[in-house]
Amino acid sequence: MCSGCLSEEWDFTRARSLGPYEGLMIEIISRFKFKGAARLAKPLGALLAEYKDPEFSFSEFDLILSVPLHPKRLKQRGFNQSLLLARRVSQALSIPLDFKSLQRIRHTLPQTELSGPERKKNIRGAFEVKENRSISGKRLLLVDDVFTTGATVQECSKVLLKAGAKQVDVLTLARVV
């Protein structure tokens, strides 16, 4: 982790990624997310479901969630890449998927266009939990495509814990290092 990440106080318990956001991983995620290659969700989701780490076990989780898109962005893109990944992980591991409780309630600028501090400000207040009882007391796995500054998954985690989640962990395809 970078020095900024080490000094940051996170609301999620752990964040894990398959690898660094570089080289071929950038190309694959870009094709998946921005060039309409939704078919890549199947192999990428399978890779996430096979993630191994002695300090991270899928058996710990009661529920899987994905980082939601605002309806406007969903309409533009045609699919939520994080939801497609989370669905594959859910199916492969037989862990229930909840795609309704966590919602994006405010349209934001794309995070890719912003600096670290701007990302935090941009995403603040963008999420809300609609179904508290479905996450209350649960250990959650939050799935996203890329962990850059952590601003998005941090904001989601904060909202989920405030709504009663017991724990939130994060799993992404790649992480900027």
Give tens-digit pLDDT for 41-81. 999 999 999 999 999 999 999 999 999 999 999 999 999 99
CA 90, 78, 176, 103 torsion-angle sign: negative
Residue with tokens 């045609």: 78
116 or 80: which leads in pLDDT: 80
Report pLDDT for 6.
Answer: 56
Instruction: Tell me the pLDDT band of 5, cut-offs 50, 70 and 90.
Output: low
8-state DSSP, 124: T
Three-state DSSP state, 52: coil
Does residue 15 contact residue 160 with C-beta atoms inside 8 Å? no
DSSP states of 62-119: SEEEEPPPPHHHHHHHSS-HHHHHHHHHHHHHT--B--SSEEE-S----GGGS-HHHH
Instruction: Give the global pTM.
Output: 0.92
What is the token pair recorded at 176? 């900027």
Q: Over the stretch 117-164, which tens digit does the pLDDT of each residue have?
A: 788 878 899 999 998 899 999 999 999 999 999 999 999 999 999 999
Residue 8 pLDDT exceeds 80: no
Q: What is the mean pLDDT of residues 81-86?
A: 98
The tokens for 2 are 């970078």
Indicate the domain borders of the chain: 3-175
Using pLDDT thresholds of 50, 70 and 90, give the confidence band for residue 175: very high
CATH 3.30.56 fits 3-175, yes or no: no
